[in-house]
Structure formats: C-alpha cells, structure tokens
Amino acid sequence: MANFVVQTSTKKGYKLDLQTGLFINNEFVAGAETIDVVNPAYGETICAVQAADKEQVDQAVDAAHKAFYGGWKEAAPQTRQKLMLKLADLMERDAEELAQIETLDNGKGISMSRNVDVPASISTIRYYAGYCDKIHGKVIDTPGSLSYTRHEAIGVVGCIIPWNFPLLMLAWKLGPALCTGNAIIVKSSELTPLSAIKIAALAKEAGFPPGVLNIITGYGPKAGDALARHTKVGKIAFTGSTLTGRHIMKAAAESNLKKVTLELGGKSPSIVFEDADLDQAIKWTHHGIYFNHGQCCCAGSRIYVQESIYDKFIAKFKEYAENTRVGDPEDETTFQGPQVSQTQYDRIMSYIETGKAEGATVFTGGERQGDKGYFIQPTVFTDVKQDMKIMQEEIFGPVVAIAKFKNLDDVIEKAHDTTYGLAASIHTTNVKTAIQVSNKLEAGTVWVNQHNVLHPETPFGGFRQSGFGRENGEYALENYLQVKCVKINIGADL
C-alpha cells in the first residue's frame, strides 16, 4: 500500500506528518494527478497532494453508496452519536496540530486558528452529535388513518467546501450530514486541503465504517463538477462564489435534480448611527472587514456612517486600520496574515486599482505589505459612490469602502443596492433603531453592535444571490433530510 505521508516543519519548528492521499473507503489512495500546496506567507510549496478526477469521484460515490445501503442507513442514532463524539475528542487531542496545519496552508494567524477555527469546529461536531437521537417526525390526526411522518437521510451527500475556513466549513457540512445519517463525499479546496485530509485520518481512527466519510481534493471543473452531476448523489452542499454556485445548480438540474444548498458571496453593509458608541463601532467594523484577512463571505466591506459623525469616524478608523498587526501568521500577535494565493492577491490588487480609476480616494493602505508572500495593507476607500465596482462586487480581501448616509430610509436603500443579502451589522445604542433596521434589512444574519460572530446553534445563510438553505443550528438539519408520510388504514370506509 502506497505511503502518502510527507514530513515537514513550520518556520518555527513545529513538526508535521502531512497525509496527502485521497481518502476513499477508509483508505488513502492515489489520484489522477497531484496539486502543489503553497504556503501563502512565503510563496513556497509545502507538499503535493493527490487530486481526483471523474474516476476517483465515481469511486468515492460508489463507496458512499455501498456504505449507506450496506448498513449505515439502519445504524442506530446512538451509533452515529458515539462516532461523532469520538471524532470531536480526537480533534481536541490533536487541536494544536490542526491549528498548525490550518495556518500553514491557509495563512491565517496561529492565534485565530488556535482560538477560533479549531475550537469552533470541535464545538460544531459536538453540537450536531447531540441531535443524532432527536430527529423525528410527527403524528398527524387524519380521519380513518394513522398518519405520521419520518425524517430520513437523503443517502449520498456531496459537500464542496472553500479555502477561507477549510476546517470550519468542513465541520459545518459534516455535522448535520453525519448526524442525520447520510454517507458523505467532501471535496476540499485544492488551495487548502491539508486539514480536511487530517480529519479523514481522525475519522478512520474514530471508527467510522468504510465509505461513510470520503474526502477528496481536486479542481472544481473536474472533481467538483463530477460530484455535482453524479446521479447517485442525492444532495450537494456548496460554499463558495455566486458564479460557481450557478454552475452547481445547473449541474444538479442537468443530472438528477438533486437537492442543493448554496452559501455564496456577500457585500455586507455595516451601518453606524450617530448615537453609536464610537470606539466600539470602530472596533467591530474593523473586525467586520479585516477578520480572516477580509477573506470572509460576510465581511462588512461597505461601512455606512451617519453624516454627523462621518469625519470623526473615518479619522479614528484610519488610525485603527493602520495599527492592524499584519505579518507572519506563525507569530501569535499577528491579526492579518497573507491572502491565500497569488491569484487572490492579484484579484484584490486589481480591485484597488479599479477603485482609484473610478475616482475613489485611498484613505489608507492600498499597497503590498512586505517583499514576500501575498500580504496586502489594510485598505480604506473614501469618496465612494454607490455604482462603483468596489461598492457593488465582492472583493474578498482587506479592502473597505466608507460612505455617508443621512437617515434611516437613505441607508436602507443604500444597504440593499447590491445583488447580495448575506449579512449586515448595525451600530447604535438605541434599541428601537436596532429592531427597526434589523427588521427592514434583507439579509440572512443581522448583527447589532458586533460583526462576524457565529455559533453552531444559530443559522447562517443568505437572501437573494447570497444563496439559499441554512448552515448551523436546527435549521441546517432539514437540508440533509427528506420527509416521508406513512398512512395506515385503521378502518375508515370509502
């Protein structure tokens, strides 16, 4: 049997044994090709991982199909629960290793990996383990019949996860998919596959039966498209760009009309009213855009400030932005690390140049940070107009545009002036304003006096072109279940 383990060390000397194979039917196997995984802080290759094409996708789906109908479908809820809790325990045991892997191939600060992504991922698995034995239908009072519903697993589920939160997005998919009794194929991003492959090894150690969980890496047009089109796959869960989401829907429609949930892009507004606690508003709007290097679908990339406090706000926000700790992701004091890839770096810089060309003012930042890796200065645009590209399109980087508003009606109109509806935040000390604006905003999540605060217990997802379906909380379960109605004649005459 081939050995796909690569030994490496971080720059600070943390030793890692990286698994690089495809995980199919509880074995690490070769793919059709290999993909280099690059450390974005230095632009250096970490290792090469095996990559799937249609043939390996077929193998993974067949393994999942066999597992589901070969016993997993009938497994007791307590069996699923025990395995999920064991997986969470193993993740906790190897928490530091997972954090180091996440920082190595994604570039996020080690403090964020260690204190946010890894604990949140473990909490998500444990949260959904608690639901395993609480999924049930209803008895419905019908004349002459005993009628009841069963909530049953879909069967084989395909999950396609992004590169910005590799471990956490994996947990967001695995939690509800496993607890509802499905067999799963996960396609990780080719940019950040290493933590997902580590979870595959832990799932095998936890005792999951062969084929229940399969994790593959591959390019979207090859592996992702094959998974979305496969007729044995009953559901696709996708997190990523709106453009790719359209392709996923088309593939699902052209194949077997599989169930689809999409968590897509955003251009989330942060609204700062004149009565806001200014220091807190600056802290949270800064966190809203620069958290995870701006590589966050719900990033508050448009800040609207009531005109009476605009000048004071932008002066203090500039100071806050310029004091952002940008640098080595292995440094525990780093807040903003590099962008994930050269392609993403170039894309963000092109948006900055477009903003300048359209007449916006670079209030601070706008340049490369350092002389190696994919670092960009925290960037603030002022003098922006609603129709500018930097106000309409998702940049997915540490770039924010700040504009004025007059009153509630004015800011609601501006907030809705995009195709997206993923999230928004409101900053005010007036509870009436908070409730009024929250009710008016067309967004899946509305934060009040905070931003980018997420929990496994609360649903997350978008309106409009930010997608449909919900991640997290009880609401996510319905995405991985189908409802059957059973009607038993108990003596009714026709």
Kindly list the catalytic residues.
263
Give the CA angle between residues 189, 192, 196 to the nearest 5°: 80
Cα separations in angstroms, 356 against 361, 377, 382 = 6, 15, 10
Token readout for 296 is 């966050």
What distance in Å separates the CA atoms of residue 194 and residue 197, rounded to the nearest whole number?
5
What distance in Å separates the CA atoms of residue 16 and residue 381, rounded to the nearest whole number?
41
Residue 241 phi/psi, 5-degree rounding, is -75, 155
How many Cα neighbours within 13 Å face the side chain of 457? 1
Give the CA angle between residues 47, 345, 444 to the nearest 5°: 100
Cβ–Cβ < 8 Å for 454, 120: yes
* Burial class of 319 by CB neighbour count within 10 A (0 to 12, 13 to 18, 19+): exposed
The closest of 111, 93, 102, 100 to 15, measured between CA atoms, is 100
Q: Whose structure tokens read 């000048």?
A: 311
The closest of 265, 270, 266 to 402, measured between CA atoms, is 270
Beta strand extents in 265-348 (DSSP E only): 269-272, 302-306
* Burial class of 300 by CB neighbour count within 10 A (0 to 12, 13 to 18, 19+): buried
Residues 6+ apart with CB under 8 A from 409: none
Q: How far, in whole angstroms, is CA 14 from its chain's centroid?
A: 27
